[in-house]
Amino acid sequence: MGAITTDVRLVRLQADRGSHTIPEVSGMQQFLMVFYVVFFSTGFMGGAALILLNIRVRSRLSRPLLLFQLLFLLGTGLILVYFSVQGNGALGRAVEGILLGVIMSTNLAIWGVVIVIIRRVAPRSRGKRNPALVAQVLALLVILKTAANVVVMATTPAAVAEDAWLLGTHLLVALAMASFGIVLRGPVNPKEPSAFQPLLKAYGTLAIVLAPLGFVEYALQSAGVPWLEEISLDHVLYLAWNVVSMSAAVRLFRPGSQESGVLESVPEERVRALGLSPREVEIATMIGRGLTNKEIAERLFISPGTVRTHIYNLYQKVGAGNRVELLNMLRG
């Protein structure tokens, strides 16, 4: 997501290549190898976790989040290949140019997926202060800035190395990331399963907290701090994102978790057999989707105390002692 700053850094390296060579940091090569092993292993495991989550809990968010995850992996892999072919003569320079274009295209796709996620996460709102609308506009501006990078790279690459251009890019990306995080941590479309809400809030926290990474990296480079060119602080965000994605499966399939008993509807024969009222069926379905008492009360416009009474009656009728037992009994 913040990989557009990596684009700028790569273009800047191409623009500066005539004036100096990129120093080798041989002492960091082992660290670099370990980092990428950890990154790609957690990335693929995170993608697998999202696939499992989609199988267990159907949602319109599943595929965009999975695509988002895979684009992270693709972009980082391309950056790694880019540096591996760097300095390999005329052929290497030609491949570098192609890879740089593909990397930028990947970033365009990432931010396009961001817009899709925002539209599916946020509930519809016509208010003037609509965080989702602001986030979409900022994401679109990042897309336009990335496209501008491609044009500038093809015409006057040195312009991308200018401080004003770099700072403008970092500012735009930071605002877009923070805005995206605010949407993920805000109200979620009620049509989406509540099992996704903890995952979205964790993603949102990462986006907000790590939004200024581009500025940090720019400051370090400007101060002349030794830097391993093959790695970016953006990768810290990617790695943390991978870990959060992995946690989706852990949380969903943890023994005794409420989400382990997802129930989309109560079978009609169980309703008749247990003598459940329409309100009890409604509450049981919401419990099956993982909603808390407070969330159920808000959806039904009743007090949390009334919700607790209905749940107590459900337990008595079904003979259950907790939510997991209740859902298992309702399945028959």
Cα–Cα distance for residue pair 185/179, rounded to 1 Å = 10
Find the CATH number of the domain harbouring 287.
1.10.10.10
Last residue of a domain, one of 235, 253, 271: 253
The residue that leads in pLDDT, 36 or 89, is 36
Q: Which two tokens stand for residue 61?
A: 């968010």
Same domain, 212 and 321: no
Same domain, 132 and 11: yes
Same domain, 248 and 267: no
Same domain, 272 and 238: no
Q: Which two tokens stand for residue 147?
A: 């496209």
Same domain, 221 and 265: no
- Its domain, for residue 327, covers 261-331
Same domain, 22 and 150: yes
Last residue of a domain, one of 253, 284, 306: 253
Indicate the pTM of the whole model. Answer: 0.69
For tokens 């290497």, name the residue. 92
Same domain, 214 and 302: no
Same domain, 96 and 167: yes
Q: Which two tokens stand for residue 70?
A: 């895979």
Residue type at position 151: V
302 CB-contact burial (10 Å; exposed 0-12 / middle 13-18 / buried 19+): middle
Number of structural domains in the chain: 2
Q: Which of 42-51, 97-106, 257-266, 321-330 has the lowest mean pLDDT?
A: 257-266
Q: How many CB atoms lie within 10 A of CB 209?
A: 14
| Helix spans in the chain (H) | 3-16, 29-56, 62-85, 89-121, 131-155, 163-185, 197-209, 213-222, 234-253, 268-274, 278-288, 293-300, 304-318, 323-331
* Section 146-157 average pLDDT: 75
Query: Whole-number mean pLDDT of the chain?
Result: 78
Cα–Cα distance for residue pair 141/262, rounded to 1 Å = 39
Cα–Cα distance for residue pair 34/11, rounded to 1 Å = 26
Burial 87-108 (b: 16+ CB within 10 A, else e): eeeeeeeebbeebbeebbebbb
Last residue of a domain, one of 221, 253, 285: 253
Residues 85 and 96: beta-carbon distance below 8 Å: yes
Same domain, 170 and 291: no
Same domain, 67 and 213: yes
**197-247: pLDDT as tens digits:** 788 999 999 999 989 888 888 787 778 776 666 667 777 888 899 999 888
Same domain, 77 and 130: yes
128 CB-contact burial (10 Å; exposed 0-12 / middle 13-18 / buried 19+): exposed
Same domain, 154 and 282: no
